[in-house]
Amino acid sequence: MMDWLQAHPMTVVGLVLWAVGVLWLMPGRQAGSTRPKIPGLLFTAAGLFAFCLSCGKPQTQLADEVMFWVFAVSALLCGVLMITAKNPVYAALWFALATLATCGLFLLQSAPFLAAATIIVYAGAVIVTFLFVIMLAQQSGAAGYDQKSGQSVMATISAFVLLGAVAMTLQQEKLEIGVPIVVAKAKGASDEVAPAQPNMSAMMQASGSGAPAGGPTPPPDAPEEKPAVPGNLLSSADPEHAVGDLKGLGRSLFSDYLFAVELAGTLLLVASIGAIALAPRREQGAL
Amino acid sequence: MPEILITLLTIGVVVAAIPGVCNYLILLERKLSAWMQDRIGPNRVGPMGLFQPLADGIKLLLKEEVVPPHVDKVLYLLAPALSVFTAMMAFAVVPFGPVDDSVPGFLRFIIAPNINIGLIFIFAITSLGVYGIVLGGWASNNKYSALGAMRASAQVVSYEIPLGMSVLGLALMSGTLNLEELMHQQTQGGIMSWNIWFQPLAAIMFFTASLAEANRLPFDLAECEQELIGGWHTEYSALKWALFFLGEYTHMITISFLTSILFLGGWNLPFIAEATSNYPGVWLVKLLVLFGKAFSFICLMIMLRWTIPRFRFDQLMELAWKVMIPLSLANLVMVMFCMQFGFNRWWLFVGSLGLFAAWGVISANLREAELAARPGYVKPKKKAAAVAHGHGHAAGHH
Amino acid sequence: MDLPNLPPLFVYGAILVGFVITNLLLAHLLGPRKHTPVKDMPYESGMDPVGDARQPFDVRFYLVAILFLVFDVELLFLYPWAVSAYSEFGIPPELRDTVFAVMLVFMTTLALAWVYAWRKGVFRWR
C-alpha cells in the first residue's frame, strides 16, 4: 500500500484533485444554491489529466492511441457530468454517452458484438427505462426527498477510494491500461494474449451469473497442451475466426460457459418474476 | 482506386441521395394516397406535380423556425438531429446493390462492408432512435408531446423484441447475421432458396415489427393527428420538423431494403438476375432488381396506410406481447428442431402456416375468455341459434 | 485496431454529424424569426394551456418496460447461439445435443417469464 503510494504519486494526486472537483460540482442540497462551476471544472480536468497520465502507456499506432484516449477520457468525463447533473434527464443522457464511449473502447478491443450488445442493453433499454421513470415521477429537477438524502461527500470519498483501489490493483498486476488486448490468434499465444478470452466472456455474463469460468461439461480429454487461454477448454480460437466475432463468441459461450449461460437465463427469469411480484398493483393506485 | 476514396464516394452518394429520395417518396405517398382516395393529388408545381418536392424543400428551408421559450433548448435541438442520425447510420451496413465481382471496381454498394454483426448493428442503432422521440417529447414541454413520446417509447420498445426474435430463425439456418452473406446465400441458390419459403411467418412479423419501429401507420399512435396534434413533434417547425420526417422516411427505405435482402433474395430474380447470368451491365440489372423490390415494399407501406385503420393503444401492445412474441419464439423453436434433427426445410413452410393458424385460434379463444370476465358482457351467439332462442323466449312469455 | 472494417463506419458517422449540424445551422441562418406572445405558447389546438406540461403523469406499461429489459438481455444470448449453433466453425458438433437441450431449457425459462407476466396482467391496459 505505502509502496504503491510512493511509487505512483501522480495517480494519488490525480484522484484527490478529481474527487475535490466532483465534490464541488455536485448539486447542493438546496435547489436554489449555485456554486460557480469554474473551480470544480478546473479541478476535475487537472485530476483527470494527472490520473490518465499516470496510468496507461502510449501504444504503437498513433490512430489507436488517439482513439483510445478520446473514448476513455470522454467516458470518464461523461461519468462526471452524469453524477453532477442537476436535471435527471441530463444525467440519463450523460450516462448514455458514457456507455457509448465505453462501446468505442470495446470496438478498439475487437469486440463488436459486445459493443452492440452494450448499446442495445444499456443505451437502448436501461436508460430508456430511466427516462420512463423520470417522466413518471419527477420531471423538473430532483424531488425533495432525493436532495435531502443525498450524501455527496461520503459517496464521493468512497467512490474515489474504490477507484484508487482499482488503479492500485491494476498497476501492481502490471496490466497495462490502454494497450488493447489482442484477440487470441494462435493456440500457443504468449501470456500477454491471455486475458482476452475471459474478459470477453466474463463481460457477456456480467449481467447474470457469478458462476466461475468453465462449463459443466468437462473436457473429454485432457491432453494438457497448455491451452492458450485459461478457462477456454472446449473451444479453441483459430486464426481465421477470431474470438471477437459473433461466431467465435457463440462457440466459446456455448461450449465453455454453457452452464453460466443457463444460470443467467434462470436469473433473468427470477428477476422478471421478482419485478412483477414486487410492483404495486394498479388497483392500489400505482403504475 | 484506393479504398478510402471508394468509401467516400459511396458515403457521398448515400448522404446526397437519401434526402432527395425521401422528398420524392413524400410526393409518391401523396400521389398514391390521392389515387387510393380518388383525388388528384399535387399537380400544380411542374408536370404532374413533379417539382413539388423541390418547392416543399425550399419552403421548409426558408420557413420561420419557431423555438418557443418554454422548451429546453439543447435537447429540443438535439432530438431531430438524433433521429436523423440514427436512421441514416443504420443504413451503413445495408448492401443496397450487388456486392460481388460483377460490379466495376470503383463502385461499392455498401458503406461499411464485412461487418459481421450486421443486423445486430442495425438493431443497436435503431434502439438509439428512441432517444430522438423521448427527448423531443420531453424537451418540448407540451402535454401532447409528452403523451406522444411516452406512447412512442412504449411501442418502439415493445416491438424491438419480436423484431430481433424473428430474424433468429434466419440466423440459425444461415449461420450468419452479416447482410452481405445472407444475400449471397440466397442469390446463389436461386428463387427456391429465398428465405421467405422457409420463414414466411418470420417475414411477416419482421415487416410488421419494423413498421411499428418506424411509427408508420397503422402503428402511428404516437403522432396521430386526431388525438395528439403531432405527437412528440408538435412544437417543431421548419427544417427541424423536416428532419424528423427525413428520419422516418429513411427508416422506411432501410426497412424495405432489409426485408428484400433478408427474405426475398436480394437482387436475385429468376431468368433475369441469377447467380450464373453473365452479360455486360449485369450489375446494373441486379441493382435495379433490388431497387424494384425495395420500391414495391415502400408502395406496400403507403398503401397499408390507407387500408388498415389505426389501432387502439392497448391493441397495439397486445399485438406485440400476446401475438408476435410467442409466435416468434415458437418459430425459433421450430427452426431449432428442424436443424437439430435434420428435417427437410420445406417442413418449415408448413409449420409456419400451422403456427399461424393455431395461434389465431388460441388467441381468439383467449380473447373471448377475457371479454367474458368483464362486467356487462353479452355472449355472442350463432345467428340461427340466437334467432331460434329469441323466438322461444318470446313464445314462452306470451 | 484489429478490425479493418470499422473505419468506414466512423467516417460515415462523422459525415452524418456534419450533415445534421449543417441542417440545423441552415435552419437557424435562413429562416426569419419573429416572436409573438401567442406564437410562443405551447400549441394545444388553440386552447390556452392549463398548468405545466411537466407534471408527474401515469406511465402505463411501466412493467412492460421492465419485462422488455429481461427479454432484451435474453435475446442477446440468443444471437451468438443462433449464428454458431449449426454452422461451420461454430459450436463443435459433438456438443450440439447438449447445447440443444440447454437451449430448450433456456427458452422454457423465457416462456415461463412471459406466461407469468401475462397471468399477472402485465399486458393489460386497465
Give the model's pLDDT for residue A219. Answer: 44
Of A136 and C110, the one with more pLDDT? C110
Write out the three cell numbers for A212.
466461475
- Residue B15 touches partner A, C-beta closer than 8 Å: no
Position A59 confidence tier, pLDDT thresholds 50, 70, 90: low
What's the CA gap between C24 and B139, in Å, rounded? 17
Q: What are phi and psi of A276, to 5 degrees?
A: -70, -40
Q: Confirm if B80 and B132 have CB atoms less than 8 A apart.
A: yes
Residues 32-51 of B with CB under 8 A from A: none
Q: Which chains pack against C, by 3+ Cβ pairs within 8 A?
A: A, B
Query: What is the interface size between A and C, counted as CB pairs within 8 Å?
Result: 169
Of C42 and B126, the one with more pLDDT? B126
- End-to-end CA separation in angstroms for chain A: 50
Q: What are phi and psi of B273, to 5 degrees?
A: -125, 85
Q: Which chains pack against A, by 3+ Cβ pairs within 8 A?
A: B, C
Q: Confirm if B268 and B102 have CB atoms less than 8 A apart.
A: no
Asked if residue A175 has pLDDT above 60, the reply is no
Position B256 confidence tier, pLDDT thresholds 50, 70, 90: very high
Residue in B with minimal Cα distance to A138: B138
Q: Confirm if B298 and B211 have CB atoms less than 8 A apart.
A: no
Residue B166's SS3 state is helix
CB within 8 A of A52, min separation 6: which ones? A14, A69, A72, A73
- Residue A126 touches partner B, C-beta closer than 8 Å: no
**Domain ranges across chain A:** 2-172, 191-283
Minimum mean pLDDT among A87-101, A112-126, A169-183, B235-249: which range? A169-183
- With 0-12 CB in 10 A as exposed, 13-18 as middle and 19+ as buried, what is C98? middle
Q: Chain B: give the shortest CA distance to residue C33, in Å.
A: 6
Q: What angle do CA B318, B320, B324 make, to 5 degrees?
A: 115
Q: What angle do CA B197, B212, A112 make, to 5 degrees?
A: 75
Position A56 confidence tier, pLDDT thresholds 50, 70, 90: low
Q: Cell numbers 462551476 label which residue?
A: A37
Contact C92 A108 (CB under 8 A): no
Contact A89 B138 (CB under 8 A): yes
Amino acid identity of A229? V
- Residue A107 touches partner B, C-beta closer than 8 Å: no
Average pLDDT, chain B: 82
* Count of residues making up chain B: 398
Amino acid identity of A41? L
Q: Chain B: give the shortest CA distance to residue C98, in Å.
A: 11
Q: Write the CA distances from B21 to A149, B15, B246, B254, integer angstroms.
A: 54, 10, 10, 12
Contact C82 B171 (CB under 8 A): yes
Give the model's pLDDT for residue B383. Answer: 58
Give the model's pLDDT for residue A183. Answer: 41
For testing contact with chain B, the best of C5, C83, C114 (most B CBs within 10 A): C83
What's the CA gap between B111 and A197, in Å, rounded? 30
Percentage of residues in chain B having pLDDT higher than 70: 94
What's the CA gap between B173 and B336, in Å, rounded? 9
What's the CA gap between A278 and B394, in Å, rounded? 53
Position B182 confidence tier, pLDDT thresholds 50, 70, 90: confident
Average pLDDT, integer, range A93-98: 89
* Chain C residues inside the 8 Å CB shell of B88: 16, 19
* Chain B residues inside the 8 Å CB shell of C52: 141
| Greatest alpha-carbon span in chain C | 75
Q: Confirm if C65 and A132 have CB atoms less than 8 A apart.
A: yes
Of C63 and B393, the one with more pLDDT? C63
Q: Confirm if A120 and C77 have CB atoms less than 8 A apart.
A: no
Instruction: Tell me the sheet residues that pair with B273.
Output: B269
Q: B48: phi > 0 → left, psi -120 to 50 → alpha, else beta; which?
A: left
Q: Write the CA distances from B364 to A261, B205, B359, B367, B369, integer angstroms.
A: 36, 18, 8, 5, 9
pLDDT digits (tens, 9 = 90+) for A71-89: 888 888 888 888 877 777 8
What's the CA gap between A254 and A261, in Å, rounded? 7
Residue in B with minimal Cα distance to C117: B321
Of B197 and A234, the one with more pLDDT? B197
Looking at domain A2-172, its CATH architecture is Up-down Bundle (1.20)
H runs (alpha helix) in B234-345: 238-263, 282-305, 313-318, 325-341
Contact B176 C42 (CB under 8 A): no
Q: How many CB atoms lie within 10 A of CB B72?
A: 19
- Residue B125 touches partner A, C-beta closer than 8 Å: yes
What's the CA gap between B324 and B305, in Å, rounded? 20
pLDDT digits (tens, 9 = 90+) for A238-281: 555 555 677 778 877 887 788 888 888 888 888 888 888 877 66
Q: Write the CA distances from B311 to B219, B308, B396, integer angstroms.
A: 7, 9, 43
Q: Confirm if A50 and A14 have CB atoms less than 8 A apart.
A: yes
pLDDT digits (tens, 9 = 90+) for A178-219: 444 444 433 344 444 344 444 434 444 433 333 344 434 444
Residue in C with minimal Cα distance to B336: C100
Query: What is the interface size between A and B, counted as CB pairs within 8 Å?
Result: 65
Q: Chain A: give the shortest CA distance to residue B382, in Å.
A: 36
Residue in C with minimal Cα distance to B317: C123
Amino acid identity of B272? I
Q: Chain A: give the shortest CA distance to residue B145, in Å.
A: 12
pLDDT digits (tens, 9 = 90+) for B26-75: 888 888 888 888 888 888 887 877 888 888 888 888 888 788 887 788 88
Q: Global pTM?
A: 0.81
- Residue B248 touches partner A, C-beta closer than 8 Å: no
